[in-house]
Copies of this chain bind each other. A is one copy, B any other.
Amino acid sequence: MMEPFLLHPIGTIHTPFRQAVNTPIQPLAAEGVRGHIDLLPEYADGLKDIEGFSHLTLVYQFHQIRTPALRVVPFMDTEEHGIFATRSPKRPNRIGLSTVRLLEVQGCRLLIDQVDMLDGSPLLDIKPFYPRYDNRAPEGVRIGWLARNENPPLTQLRADRRFED
């Protein structure tokens, strides 16, 4: 099962962000930042009843990442960590996850808030956010190196140039 396999984008995410610098890090830091999804028409049938959900988890490609890396100095620290111990976009397979707010469904266009990805990101999947499944481990969770700088102000959650090379 270890052969590479093809993924087919189901649509495109449009946001105000053309480059990484100053793009919000995580939807948490993108309150009030609006964008939209243009789903390919052949997937329109899959949207039935999606308007009932307030939040959607988007699976997409970090399409502007050219050089994935196994060690990175992540945002929020000055030391190098393994890529799988960070949320850096420079990861193998370049898969991004963002849980955004759904504002309105207009046919194959979904208006969304809290967008933190670059304009033109190829969309791979949409999953409805369900707190019973997704809000995990309120007690006893350990967050490794992130505990050293656990709650920086939202205004600091902006990307810099480290994702550009």
Question: Which residues of chain A have a CB within 8 Å of any CB of chain B?
Answer: 1-10, 12, 26-28, 40, 43, 45-57, 59, 61, 63, 70-71, 80-87, 91-93, 95, 97, 99, 101, 120-122, 124-138, 140-147, 150-151
CA distance A86 to B150 in the complex (A): 33
A101 to chain B, nearest CB (A): 8
Q: Are B12 and A133 in contact (CB under 8 A)?
A: no
In the bound complex, residues from chain B placing their C-beta under 8 Å from that of A27 are 133, 136
CA distance A52 to B137 in the complex (A): 15
Known: A127-B87, A142-B53. A63 touches B7 (CB 8 A): no
In the bound complex, residues from chain B placing their C-beta under 8 Å from that of A12 are 1-2
CA distance A135 to B86 in the complex (A): 17
Q: Are B135 and A8 in contact (CB under 8 A)?
A: no
Which of B8, B48, B55, B144 has a CB less than 8 Å from the CB of A82? B48
Q: Are B87 and A130 in contact (CB under 8 A)?
A: yes
- Which residue of the partner chain B has the closest CB to A82? B48
Q: Are A125 and B46 in contact (CB under 8 A)?
A: no
Q: Are A144 and B132 in contact (CB under 8 A)?
A: no
Q: Are A6 and B6 in contact (CB under 8 A)?
A: yes
CA distance A153 to B66 in the complex (A): 45
Q: Are B48 and A81 in contact (CB under 8 A)?
A: yes
CA distance A62 to B32 in the complex (A): 34
Q: Which of A91, A120, A130 has the most CB of B within 10 A?
A: A130
Q: Are A133 and B49 in contact (CB under 8 A)?
A: no
